[in-house]
Amino acid sequence: MRVLWTCLLPLLLAGVGLMQVVAGSDCEPNEFCDRKNGSCYWKDEMACNGSSFSYGCSGKGCACCVTDPTVCIERNFCAKRNGTCIPKTQNCSGEVLLEGCQSDTCHCCVENPVDPDVECEPKDCANYNGTCFERGKAPCNGTIYSRGCKSVFCACCVPDTSICIAKPSCDGECRKVSEGCDGTVVEDACHGTDCQCCVEDDDGEGEDY
């Protein structure tokens, strides 16, 4: 039996290693993450001590984490239009897109514009009494709900800032911070002003023993 186990152990370890490589390959950086000297991580398993963006890595639930606070990071629609985020202290020789960067100290500069034919059609934008608009081209006096309209170049503008809208990373309920949370708060998982994602803790009620 000991001899059999000795023979099987290397095979089992090799299999585990192969599974880890396959799993890790689902969360790998692309050119956008590499440009920012970022690293990929699983959002439901780790936290990012810096700024993160999901389009920088492959794999659902994977994001690129950039720890350098001086690095300007493009929002998806800015990158898709061939834009680059630079500090506002630097002049832009092209078109500046509104709200195209994650930081307020940066702006999205498009020197070689990519101008696709954009038709902003709603998905569930009307459920929040919102209006679809072309991102970067017009301001939104309210909450920007990026998934409320079709096309990465469009978003839903919700004028009622008292509404909290859940992002895909929220498995609980989005509510105002003032309402409190008796469970776990998931950071940056809601659209809206002073909103937070609250996931109620499982206290074991209803379990069979």
- Domain stop point among 56, 91, 115: 115
pLDDT classification of 144: cutoffs 50, 70, 90:
very high
- Per the structure, the complete domain to which residue 128 belongs is given by 117-163
Helix (H) or strand (E) holding 42: strand 39-42
Whether residue 73 is predicted with pLDDT greater than 60 in this model: the reply is yes
Burial of 17 (0-12, 13-18, 19+ CB in 10 A): exposed
Segment among 62-66, 85-89, 110-114 with least mean pLDDT: 110-114
Q: What average pLDDT is seen over the chain?
A: 83
In a domain, 41, yes or no: yes
Query: Which pLDDT band, with edges at 50, 70 and 90, does 84 fall under?
Result: very high
pLDDT of the residue at 191 = 93
93-142 pLDDT per residue, tens: 999 999 999 888 999 999 887 767 788 999 999 999 999 999 999 899 99
Q: Tell me, what's the pLDDT at 207?
A: 41
For 56-66, letters b (16+ CB in 10 Å) and e give bbeeeebbbbb
Task: Determine the pLDDT at residue 203.
Answer: 59
Whether residue 144 is found in the same domain as residue 181: no
Q: Provide the number of structural domains found in the chain.
A: 4
Please check whether residues 153 and 124 belong to one and the same domain: yes
